[in-house]
Protein backbone atom coordinates (compact mmCIF):
# COMPACT_ATOMS: atom_id res chain seq x y z
CA UNK A 1 0.00 0.00 0.00
CA UNK A 2 1.62 3.25 -1.16
CA UNK A 3 -0.59 5.94 0.40
CA UNK A 4 -1.29 4.89 3.99
CA UNK A 5 -2.91 8.01 5.43
CA UNK A 6 -5.14 10.89 4.30
CA UNK A 7 -2.37 13.21 5.49
CA UNK A 8 0.01 11.90 2.82
CA UNK A 9 -0.79 14.90 0.64
CA UNK A 10 0.02 18.60 0.34
CA UNK A 11 -1.38 21.17 2.75
CA UNK A 12 -2.84 23.29 -0.07
CA UNK A 13 -5.28 20.49 -0.92
CA UNK A 14 -6.91 20.90 2.50
CA UNK A 15 -6.87 24.71 2.44
CA UNK A 16 -8.45 24.72 -1.03
CA UNK A 17 -10.98 22.07 -0.05
CA UNK A 18 -12.12 24.16 2.90
CA UNK A 19 -12.35 27.31 0.75
CA UNK A 20 -14.71 25.45 -1.60
CA UNK A 21 -16.82 24.28 1.36
CA UNK A 22 -17.00 27.80 2.76
CA UNK A 23 -17.86 29.67 -0.45
CA UNK A 24 -18.92 27.17 -3.12
CA UNK A 25 -20.32 24.10 -1.34
CA UNK A 26 -22.42 22.98 -4.32
CA UNK A 27 -19.74 23.48 -6.99
CA UNK A 28 -18.59 20.42 -8.93
CA UNK A 29 -15.46 19.70 -10.91
CA UNK A 30 -13.50 17.18 -12.93
CA UNK A 31 -9.78 16.53 -12.52
CA UNK A 32 -8.04 14.96 -15.52
CA UNK A 33 -4.66 13.24 -15.68
CA UNK A 34 -2.04 14.20 -18.25
CA UNK A 35 1.28 12.46 -18.89
CA UNK A 36 3.27 15.08 -20.79
CA UNK A 37 5.79 12.42 -21.87
CA UNK A 38 3.00 10.32 -23.43
CA UNK A 39 4.31 7.22 -21.66
CA UNK A 40 2.97 3.88 -22.85
CA UNK A 41 1.62 1.81 -19.97
CA UNK A 42 0.69 -1.87 -19.72
CA UNK A 43 -2.40 -3.75 -18.59
CA UNK A 44 -0.40 -5.09 -15.62
CA UNK A 45 0.41 -1.51 -14.65
CA UNK A 46 -3.29 -0.64 -14.89
CA UNK A 47 -4.20 -3.60 -12.69
CA UNK A 48 -1.66 -2.55 -10.04
CA UNK A 49 -2.91 1.03 -10.19
CA UNK A 50 -6.51 -0.06 -9.69
CA UNK A 51 -5.46 -2.12 -6.68
CA UNK A 52 -3.80 0.93 -5.09
CA UNK A 53 -6.86 3.06 -5.87
CA UNK A 54 -9.03 0.46 -4.15
CA UNK A 55 -6.69 0.69 -1.15
CA UNK A 56 -7.30 4.45 -1.00
CA UNK A 57 -10.92 3.77 -0.08
CA UNK A 58 -9.74 2.07 3.12
CA UNK A 59 -8.08 5.21 4.50
CA UNK A 60 -9.56 6.77 7.63
CA UNK A 61 -8.64 10.06 9.32
CA UNK A 62 -7.54 9.08 12.83
CA UNK A 63 -8.23 10.82 16.11
CA UNK A 64 -4.50 11.47 16.55
CA UNK A 65 -4.34 13.11 13.11
CA UNK A 66 -7.43 15.20 13.86
CA UNK A 67 -5.89 16.52 17.06
CA UNK A 68 -2.57 17.28 15.38
CA UNK A 69 -4.10 19.16 12.45
CA UNK A 70 -6.49 21.08 14.70
CA UNK A 71 -3.57 22.18 16.85
CA UNK A 72 -1.17 23.02 14.03
CA UNK A 73 -3.49 24.60 11.44
CA UNK A 74 -5.18 27.46 13.27
CA UNK A 75 -6.46 28.79 9.92
CA UNK A 76 -8.59 25.65 9.38
CA UNK A 77 -11.38 25.09 11.93
CA UNK A 78 -11.83 21.84 13.80
CA UNK A 79 -15.14 21.28 12.04
CA UNK A 80 -13.22 20.78 8.77
CA UNK A 81 -11.06 18.03 10.27
CA UNK A 82 -14.13 16.44 11.82
CA UNK A 83 -15.72 16.40 8.35
CA UNK A 84 -12.53 14.85 6.96
CA UNK A 85 -12.97 12.05 9.50
CA UNK A 86 -16.06 11.02 7.54
CA UNK A 87 -14.46 11.43 4.09
CA UNK A 88 -13.68 8.33 2.01
CA UNK A 89 -12.02 8.13 -1.38
CA UNK A 90 -14.53 6.54 -3.75
CA UNK A 91 -13.00 4.37 -6.52
CA UNK A 92 -16.35 4.52 -8.35
CA UNK A 93 -15.74 8.24 -8.92
CA UNK A 94 -12.48 7.49 -10.75
CA UNK A 95 -12.67 6.71 -14.47
CA UNK A 96 -9.40 4.99 -15.40
CA UNK A 97 -8.34 3.22 -18.60
CA UNK A 98 -5.69 2.82 -21.29
CA UNK A 99 -6.48 3.99 -24.82
CA UNK A 100 -5.46 2.17 -28.01
CA UNK A 101 -2.01 3.79 -27.87
CA UNK A 102 -1.57 2.54 -24.27
CA UNK A 103 -1.73 6.08 -22.87
CA UNK A 104 -3.17 6.39 -19.37
CA UNK A 105 -6.45 8.27 -18.79
CA UNK A 106 -7.74 9.17 -15.32
CA UNK A 107 -10.73 11.40 -14.59
CA UNK A 108 -12.41 12.10 -11.27
CA UNK A 109 -15.68 14.04 -10.96
CA UNK A 110 -17.35 15.08 -7.70
CA UNK A 111 -18.14 18.10 -5.54
CA UNK A 112 -15.09 20.34 -5.69
CA UNK A 113 -14.35 20.20 -1.98
CA UNK A 114 -14.04 16.42 -2.32
CA UNK A 115 -12.56 15.96 -5.79
CA UNK A 116 -9.62 18.27 -5.10
CA UNK A 117 -8.38 15.74 -2.53
CA UNK A 118 -7.80 13.06 -5.19
CA UNK A 119 -5.06 14.86 -7.15
CA UNK A 120 -1.91 14.43 -5.08
CA UNK A 121 -2.41 10.80 -3.92
CA UNK A 122 -3.21 9.65 -7.46
CA UNK A 123 -0.13 11.34 -8.92
CA UNK A 124 2.13 9.93 -6.20
CA UNK A 125 0.72 6.44 -6.79
CA UNK A 126 1.17 6.62 -10.58
CA UNK A 127 4.76 7.83 -10.20
CA UNK A 128 5.74 5.07 -7.78
CA UNK A 129 4.08 2.22 -9.68
CA UNK A 130 5.59 3.49 -12.93
CA UNK A 131 9.09 3.26 -11.44
CA UNK A 132 8.34 -0.21 -10.16
CA UNK A 133 7.12 -1.46 -13.55
CA UNK A 134 9.99 0.14 -15.44
CA UNK A 135 12.44 -1.63 -13.14
CA UNK A 136 13.82 1.60 -11.68
CA UNK A 137 15.51 0.98 -8.32
CA UNK A 138 16.64 3.96 -6.29
CA UNK A 139 20.13 3.91 -4.77
CA UNK A 140 19.56 5.48 -1.36
CA UNK A 141 23.29 6.07 -0.78
CA UNK A 142 23.56 7.98 -4.05
CA UNK A 143 20.41 9.97 -3.22
CA UNK A 144 21.78 10.92 0.21
CA UNK A 145 25.16 11.82 -1.29
CA UNK A 146 23.52 14.23 -3.76
CA UNK A 147 21.25 15.55 -1.01
CA UNK A 148 24.21 16.30 1.26
CA UNK A 149 25.70 18.54 -1.43
CA UNK A 150 22.39 20.40 -1.78
CA UNK A 151 22.05 20.82 1.98
CA UNK A 152 25.63 22.08 2.23
CA UNK A 153 24.89 24.68 -0.48
CA UNK A 154 21.76 25.79 1.38
CA UNK A 155 23.49 25.95 4.76
CA UNK A 156 26.49 27.82 3.36
CA UNK A 157 24.43 30.47 1.55
CA UNK A 158 21.45 30.64 3.95
CA UNK A 159 19.17 29.47 1.14
CA UNK A 160 15.66 29.12 2.53
CA UNK A 161 13.57 26.36 0.93
CA UNK A 162 10.68 23.99 1.55
CA UNK A 163 10.21 20.42 0.36
CA UNK A 164 7.40 20.33 -2.23
CA UNK A 165 7.96 16.89 -3.72
CA UNK A 166 4.96 14.69 -2.90
CA UNK A 167 3.17 14.65 -6.27
CA UNK A 168 6.06 13.40 -8.40
CA UNK A 169 8.19 11.61 -5.85
CA UNK A 170 10.13 8.50 -6.89
CA UNK A 171 8.51 6.64 -4.01
CA UNK A 172 7.23 7.31 -0.53
CA UNK A 173 10.38 5.70 0.89
CA UNK A 174 12.63 8.06 -1.07
CA UNK A 175 10.59 11.07 0.06
CA UNK A 176 10.76 10.03 3.69
CA UNK A 177 14.51 9.40 3.49
CA UNK A 178 15.00 12.87 2.02
CA UNK A 179 12.75 14.61 4.56
CA UNK A 180 14.39 12.83 7.50
CA UNK A 181 17.82 14.01 6.31
CA UNK A 182 16.57 17.55 5.70
CA UNK A 183 15.06 17.69 9.16
CA UNK A 184 18.32 16.57 10.75
CA UNK A 185 20.86 18.67 8.83
CA UNK A 186 19.29 21.41 6.65
CA UNK A 187 19.37 24.56 8.79
CA UNK A 188 17.38 26.64 6.28
CA UNK A 189 14.72 24.09 5.34
CA UNK A 190 11.55 25.92 6.38
CA UNK A 191 9.22 22.89 6.20
CA UNK A 192 7.39 20.47 3.95
CA UNK A 193 4.14 20.59 2.00
CA UNK A 194 3.43 16.98 3.07
CA UNK A 195 1.18 16.96 6.15
CA UNK A 196 1.99 13.38 7.12
CA UNK A 197 5.75 13.93 7.24
CA UNK A 198 5.29 17.31 8.91
CA UNK A 199 3.44 15.48 11.69
CA UNK A 200 5.93 12.62 11.85
CA UNK A 201 9.05 14.79 11.97
CA UNK A 202 7.74 17.88 13.74
CA UNK A 203 8.20 20.15 10.71
CA UNK A 204 6.18 23.14 9.61
CA UNK A 205 3.50 22.51 6.97
CA UNK A 206 3.85 24.79 3.95
CA UNK A 207 1.43 25.84 1.22
CA UNK A 208 -1.37 28.22 0.24
CA UNK A 209 -3.49 27.86 -2.92
CA UNK A 210 -3.15 26.23 -6.38
CA UNK A 211 -3.88 27.10 -10.01
CA UNK A 212 -7.23 25.32 -9.78
CA UNK A 213 -8.60 28.05 -7.48
CA UNK A 214 -7.95 30.67 -10.17
CA UNK A 215 -9.06 28.35 -12.99
CA UNK A 216 -12.40 27.83 -11.24
CA UNK A 217 -12.88 31.59 -10.89
CA UNK A 218 -11.91 32.15 -14.53
CA UNK A 219 -14.45 29.61 -15.76
CA UNK A 220 -17.23 30.94 -13.55
CA UNK A 221 -16.64 34.70 -13.49
CA UNK A 222 -14.56 35.47 -16.59
CA UNK A 223 -10.83 35.64 -17.19
CA UNK A 224 -10.52 39.42 -16.76
CA UNK A 225 -11.76 39.22 -13.19
CA UNK A 226 -10.40 35.80 -12.23
CA UNK A 227 -7.23 36.87 -10.40
CA UNK A 228 -8.90 39.69 -8.48
CA UNK A 229 -11.92 37.62 -7.44
CA UNK A 230 -9.85 34.56 -6.55
CA UNK A 231 -7.65 36.63 -4.22
CA UNK A 232 -10.61 38.49 -2.72
CA UNK A 233 -12.39 35.21 -2.01
CA UNK A 234 -9.23 33.72 -0.51
CA UNK A 235 -9.08 36.67 1.88
CA UNK A 236 -12.79 36.21 2.65
CA UNK A 237 -11.99 32.68 3.82
CA UNK A 238 -8.58 33.11 5.46
CA UNK A 239 -8.57 36.75 6.58
CA UNK A 240 -4.91 37.36 5.75
CA UNK A 241 -3.52 33.93 6.59
CA UNK A 242 -1.90 31.85 3.84
CA UNK A 243 -0.79 35.07 2.19
CA UNK A 244 1.32 34.00 -0.79
CA UNK A 245 -0.59 34.71 -4.01
CA UNK A 246 -0.10 32.53 -7.08
CA UNK A 247 0.73 34.77 -10.03
CA UNK A 248 0.75 32.86 -13.30
CA UNK A 249 -2.60 31.16 -13.95
CA UNK A 250 -3.42 33.62 -16.74
CA UNK A 251 0.18 34.87 -17.20
CA UNK A 252 2.03 36.93 -14.64
CA UNK A 253 1.66 40.05 -16.78
CA UNK A 254 -2.11 39.96 -16.42
CA UNK A 255 -1.76 39.21 -12.70
CA UNK A 256 0.50 42.19 -12.09
CA UNK A 257 -1.66 44.59 -14.09
CA UNK A 258 -4.72 43.53 -12.06
CA UNK A 259 -2.99 43.49 -8.67
CA UNK A 260 -4.72 46.10 -6.52
CA UNK A 261 -2.94 48.13 -3.87
CA UNK A 262 -5.09 46.55 -1.18
CA UNK A 263 -4.16 43.05 -2.28
CA UNK A 264 -0.51 43.96 -2.77
CA UNK A 265 -0.37 45.27 0.80
CA UNK A 266 -2.45 42.48 2.30
CA UNK A 267 -0.68 39.48 0.75
CA UNK A 268 2.80 38.71 2.09
CA UNK A 269 4.07 38.03 -1.40
CA UNK A 270 3.58 35.95 -4.52
CA UNK A 271 4.58 32.56 -5.91
CA UNK A 272 6.38 32.33 -9.25
CA UNK A 273 5.69 28.95 -10.88
CA UNK A 274 6.58 29.49 -14.55
CA UNK A 275 8.45 31.78 -16.90
CA UNK A 276 11.73 33.63 -16.47
CA UNK A 277 12.29 34.17 -12.76
CA UNK A 278 14.70 37.09 -13.19
CA UNK A 279 12.32 39.03 -15.43
CA UNK A 280 9.50 38.35 -12.97
CA UNK A 281 11.54 39.74 -10.08
CA UNK A 282 12.09 43.02 -11.94
CA UNK A 283 8.44 43.30 -12.97
CA UNK A 284 7.08 42.56 -9.49
CA UNK A 285 9.46 44.97 -7.78
CA UNK A 286 8.45 47.65 -10.28
CA UNK A 287 4.76 46.96 -9.64
CA UNK A 288 5.24 47.26 -5.88
CA UNK A 289 7.05 50.55 -6.47
CA UNK A 290 4.13 51.82 -8.58
CA UNK A 291 1.78 50.98 -5.72
CA UNK A 292 3.98 52.76 -3.15
CA UNK A 293 5.01 49.52 -1.41
CA UNK A 294 8.51 48.67 -0.21
CA UNK A 295 9.30 45.43 -2.06
CA UNK A 296 11.91 44.44 0.55
CA UNK A 297 9.00 43.78 2.95
CA UNK A 298 7.54 41.23 0.50
CA UNK A 299 8.53 37.70 -0.54
CA UNK A 300 8.61 35.73 -3.77
CA UNK A 301 8.31 31.96 -3.42
CA UNK A 302 9.87 30.30 -6.48
CA UNK A 303 8.65 26.80 -7.35
CA UNK A 304 9.21 26.13 -11.07
CA UNK A 305 11.27 22.94 -11.54
CA UNK A 306 14.10 24.30 -9.44
CA UNK A 307 17.45 22.86 -8.46
CA UNK A 308 19.67 24.36 -5.76
CA UNK A 309 22.19 25.94 -8.13
CA UNK A 310 19.47 27.86 -9.96
CA UNK A 311 17.85 28.80 -6.64
CA UNK A 312 21.15 30.26 -5.48
CA UNK A 313 21.42 32.38 -8.65
CA UNK A 314 17.87 33.65 -8.07
CA UNK A 315 18.62 34.44 -4.41
CA UNK A 316 21.66 36.50 -5.39
CA UNK A 317 19.57 38.43 -7.92
CA UNK A 318 16.91 39.16 -5.28
CA UNK A 319 19.40 40.70 -2.85
CA UNK A 320 18.39 44.20 -1.77
CA UNK A 321 15.33 43.98 -4.05
CA UNK A 322 12.88 41.57 -2.45
CA UNK A 323 12.86 38.60 -0.06
CA UNK A 324 12.83 35.13 -1.54
CA UNK A 325 12.18 31.51 -0.65
CA UNK A 326 11.99 28.32 -2.68
CA UNK A 327 9.67 25.37 -3.00
CA UNK A 328 11.74 22.50 -4.35
CA UNK A 329 10.03 19.27 -5.32
CA UNK A 330 11.25 16.81 -7.94
CA UNK A 331 14.92 17.78 -7.46
CA UNK A 332 14.62 16.56 -3.88
CA UNK A 333 12.28 13.55 -4.06
CA UNK A 334 13.06 12.22 -7.54
CA UNK A 335 16.74 12.96 -8.21
CA UNK A 336 17.63 9.31 -8.69
CA UNK A 337 19.28 9.15 -12.10
CA UNK A 338 16.03 8.00 -13.72
CA UNK A 339 13.83 10.40 -15.69
CA UNK A 340 11.12 11.72 -13.34
CA UNK A 341 7.48 11.37 -14.34
CA UNK A 342 6.19 14.51 -16.05
CA UNK A 343 2.61 14.06 -14.91
CA UNK A 344 -0.13 16.42 -13.74
CA UNK A 345 -3.79 16.39 -12.79
CA UNK A 346 -5.63 19.58 -13.63
CA UNK A 347 -9.13 20.89 -13.08
CA UNK A 348 -10.58 20.59 -16.60
CA UNK A 349 -14.25 21.51 -16.07
CA UNK A 350 -16.47 22.88 -13.34
CA UNK A 351 -19.99 24.07 -12.62
CA UNK A 352 -21.40 26.09 -9.75
CA UNK A 353 -24.13 23.56 -9.00
CA UNK A 354 -25.64 20.39 -10.39
CA UNK A 355 -28.09 22.31 -12.62
CA UNK A 356 -25.51 24.51 -14.36
CA UNK A 357 -23.82 23.48 -17.61
CA UNK A 358 -20.20 22.38 -17.44
CA UNK A 359 -17.64 25.08 -18.19
CA UNK A 360 -14.12 24.33 -19.35
CA UNK A 361 -11.20 25.31 -17.11
CA UNK A 362 -7.94 26.44 -18.70
CA UNK A 363 -4.55 27.76 -17.67
CA UNK A 364 -2.15 30.09 -19.49
CA UNK A 365 1.45 29.49 -18.54
CA UNK A 366 4.38 31.90 -18.72
CA UNK A 367 6.30 28.95 -20.20
CA UNK A 368 6.11 28.59 -23.97
CA UNK A 369 3.73 25.87 -25.13
CA UNK A 370 2.39 24.99 -21.68
CA UNK A 371 -1.14 26.40 -21.94
CA UNK A 372 -3.65 23.77 -20.82
CA UNK A 373 -7.15 23.39 -22.24
CA UNK A 374 -8.76 23.22 -25.66
CA UNK A 375 -7.34 25.48 -28.36
CA UNK A 376 -10.75 27.11 -28.78
CA UNK A 377 -11.07 28.07 -25.10
CA UNK A 378 -7.44 29.14 -24.83
CA UNK A 379 -7.97 31.44 -27.83
CA UNK A 380 -11.15 32.84 -26.26
CA UNK A 381 -9.23 33.56 -23.07
CA UNK A 382 -6.35 35.20 -24.95
CA UNK A 383 -8.88 37.36 -26.78
CA UNK A 384 -10.68 38.40 -23.59
CA UNK A 385 -7.37 39.33 -21.98
CA UNK A 386 -6.24 41.11 -25.18
CA UNK A 387 -3.19 38.87 -25.42
CA UNK A 388 -3.60 37.93 -29.09
Q: List the beta strands (DSSP E) in the chain.
A: 28-35, 94-98, 104-111, 161-163, 189-192, 244-246, 269-272, 299-302, 323-328, 343-351, 359-360
Dist CA 186 CA 182 (whole Å): 5
Q: Helices 223-238 and 211-221, interaxial angle, to 10°? A: 120
> DSSP letters of 47-99?
HHHHHHHHHHTT----HHHHHHHHHH-TTS-HHHHHHHTT----GGGEEEEE-
- Edge to edge, the sheet with strand 189-192 lists 189-192, 161-163, 323-328, 299-302, 269-272, 244-246
Helix/strand/coil for 319:
coil
> DSSP letters of 218-261?
HHHH-HHHHHHHHHHHHHHHHTT-S-EEE--TB-HHHHHHH--H
Q: What is the pLDDT of residues 173-185, one digit of tens each?
A: 999 999 999 999 9
Backbone angles phi, psi at 19, to 5 degrees: -65, -40
pLDDT given for residue 56 in this prediction: 97
For 22, other C-beta atoms within 10 Å of its C-beta total: 15
Could you read off the pLDDT tens digit of each residue along the chain, which spans 388 residues? 999 999 999 999 999 999 999 999 999 999 999 999 999 999 999 999 999 999 999 999 999 999 999 999 999 999 999 999 999 999 999 999 999 999 999 999 999 999 999 999 999 999 999 999 999 999 999 999 999 999 999 999 999 999 999 999 999 999 999 999 999 999 999 999 999 999 999 999 999 999 999 999 999 999 999 999 999 999 999 999 999 999 999 999 999 999 999 999 999 999 999 999 999 999 999 999 999 999 999 999 999 999 999 999 999 999 999 999 999 999 999 999 999 999 999 999 999 999 999 999 999 989 877 789 999 999 999 999 988 6
pLDDT given for residue 370 in this prediction: 77
pLDDT given for residue 387 in this prediction: 85
Q: What is the pLDDT of residues 195-211, one digit of tens each?
A: 999 999 999 999 999 99
Q: Domain map of the chain by residue range?
A: 140-334
For 57, other C-beta atoms within 10 Å of its C-beta total: 12
CATH superfamily of 140-334: nicotinate phosphoribosyltransferase (3.20.140.10)
Amino acid sequence: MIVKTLLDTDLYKFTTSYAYIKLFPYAMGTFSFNDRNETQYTEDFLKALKTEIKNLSQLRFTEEELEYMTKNCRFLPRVYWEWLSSFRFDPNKIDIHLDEACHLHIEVTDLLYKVTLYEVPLLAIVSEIKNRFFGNVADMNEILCKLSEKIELSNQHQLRFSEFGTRRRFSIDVQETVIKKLNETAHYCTGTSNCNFAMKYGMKMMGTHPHEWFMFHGAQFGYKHANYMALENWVNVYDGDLGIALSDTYTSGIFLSNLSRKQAKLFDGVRCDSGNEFEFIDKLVARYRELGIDATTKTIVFSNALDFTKALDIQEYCQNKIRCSFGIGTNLTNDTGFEPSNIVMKLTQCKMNVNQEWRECIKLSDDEGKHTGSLEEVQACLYELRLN
